[in-house]
Structure 1
């Protein structure tokens, strides 16, 4: 039996103008299918039909969090650099300007999940620091961290 080997990309989409609420609100409206379509367009424009043919069967957006703007993408191991390049060259998703930041690349979904959970904690820590919240303060982010951790851990290959 042949096993398909994948690479898992953990990507954060940073709004191009974080001071503008319109940019951040636009990223809240985005879904996994929009990210997939944008990656497809990027692969086609930068790598052509041959590039799209190599990654099209294995490219999948497994998870996207509109709160922290992180995404987990699965792609075949042999062609992950094409997908990585296409993600890096994205400038907007559905007309919303963003800068993609590849945080982690792994060979297993488990390591991508662990990196995503840790990154969620870091981002929530940034949000709390920006709000000058005391360390023991209970806010809606606690509930978000619990639900996002459960969602991420429930992902299957």
Structure 2
């Protein structure tokens, strides 16, 4: 029996204002989901690496998780072709007409390490939101429920 070896990319999609250089937007006009991201990655691979690149990456490329609140997703791709997917992700400039800056947060060989990194990254993002809102450290808000919900969703992912 042969085991398929994968790489797991934890990616954050940062919306960027098209008029200013790298000025983050508060709320993008287009709501992202896994299907939209998969199609954008497909177009990026096709335009940068052609049909041969897409033929190599396509069988293993899947979006396993995406959170529209934090714009963080987990992408699975085969170990042999993860550099093509990573390069296509790096060269991705816009998704459905909205400019995004894809930030690779973590590259992992197992889903477990990708899950742990995603949970930690969500905590960091929520801490940034709380710092912007200037809430005290012990304050209970809706972010606690969000963290619990996303932690359960991420831990439930299967290979």
Question: Taking structure 1 as the reference length, what is the TM-score of the superposition?
Answer: 0.95
Aligned residue runs from structure 1 range 130-149, under 5 A: 130-149=132-151
Q: For the Cα contact (< 8 Å) 2:28–2:98, is it kept in 1? A: no
Point out where structure 1 has 5 or more consecutive residues left out of the alignment: none
Query: CA, structure 1 residues 33+135, in 2 after alignment: closer, same or farther (shift >3 Å)?
Result: same
> How far apart are residue 95 of structure 1 and its match?
1.6
Residues 1:13 and 2:13 are matched in the alignment = yes
Q: For the Cα contact (< 8 Å) 2:14–2:100, is it kept in 1? A: yes
- Aligned-partner Cα distance in 1 for 2:114–2:71: 15
Q: How many residues align?
A: 154
Q: For the Cα contact (< 8 Å) 1:30–1:94, is it kept in 2? A: no
- Aligned-partner Cα distance in 2 for 1:141–1:116: 16
Q: Higher mean Cα deviation, 134-143 or 10-19?
A: 10-19
Point out where structure 2 has 5 or more consecutive residues left out of the alignment: 18-22
Cα deviation per residue 1:77-105 (whole Å; 9 max; x = unaligned)?
A: 00000000000111111222110000100
Q: Which residue of structure 2 aligns with residue 94 of structure 1?
A: 96
Q: Which residue of structure 2 aligns with residue 25 of structure 1?
A: 28
2:29 aligned counterpart, secondary structure: helix
Cα deviation per residue 1:8-56 (whole Å; 9 max; x = unaligned)?
A: 00000011135644xx2335x1110000000000000000000000000
- Aligned-partner Cα distance in 2 for 1:19–1:131: 17
Q: For the Cα contact (< 8 Å) 1:121–1:145, is it kept in 2? A: yes
Q: For the Cα contact (< 8 Å) 2:13–2:71, is it kept in 1? A: yes
Q: Which residue of structure 2 aligns with residue 70 of structure 1?
A: 72
Question: Taking structure 2 as the reference length, what is the TM-score of the superposition?
Answer: 0.94
Larger relative helix fraction = 1
